[in-house]
Amino acid sequence: MPTSTPVTESGGRRLRADAERNRARVLNAARELFAERGANVSMDEVARHAEVGVGTLYRHFPTKEAMVVAASQQRFGEILTYYRTVCRESAEPLEALQMLLTRVGEVEARDRGFASVVGGTLGSEGPPSTMRADLEAELVDLVGKGQASGSIRRDIAGADILALTCGLTSIVHRRSGDWRRYIDIVLDGLRSDHITP
């Protein structure tokens, strides 16, 4: 989520600065507790951990599901912002992609418990949002640059990279291998000089 995007209430009004801070504290507390203990966290516990009143928490998030959705979007937005402010500055597209995938792996490994809460609450790895479309657009641009420079295979599409990112998160969640090794394998397979004749 771009840092310039204003946080709004469900009615669409922009939050006051103190309300934005309280909302962020609640989401950060929720993510920490969910990462530590999974779904067995109550709304009251989140409020205490965030050091806000229960009424403040419920004003922002009337249900636990609403809080999980918002926390998931916040987390995805942080990854998107990291790509735009750090990875995109790299002159080499494959290096930028390695940085992004490594960041995704680190976040997912740290937040395994939270990821299980998202899947159990929303029935998926996360809520659909414009952020996903934004990331895919960034990856389309990245692939185009890599193909123009000759570093990425011509048969790769931006949607392929998004799918590979989802595969990486699955490997991390299931602890089914060394996720850093899989990043190396993926990057090796994307290189233009590794196309089978």
Q: Delineate the domains of the chain, giving CATH numbers in brackets.
A: 64-194 (1.10.357.10)
162/159 Cα distance (integer angstroms): 5
The backbone region for 125, taken as left when phi is positive above 0, alpha when psi lies in -120 to 50, beta otherwise, is alpha
Q: Convert the pLDDT of each residue in 60-107 to its tens digit.
A: 999 998 998 888 888 888 999 999 999 988 879 999 999 999 999 998
152/146 Cα distance (integer angstroms): 5
Q: Convert the pLDDT of each residue in 26-41 to its tens digit.
A: 999 999 998 888 888 9
DSSP state at residue 7? P
Instruction: Say if CB 106 and CB 138 are below 8 A apart.
Output: no
Q: What is the pLDDT of residue 29?
A: 94
> CA dist 120 to 27, 29, 109, Å?
18, 19, 17
Q: What is the pLDDT of residue 1?
A: 38
**Is the pLDDT higher at 9 or at 45?**
45
pTM passes above 0.85: no
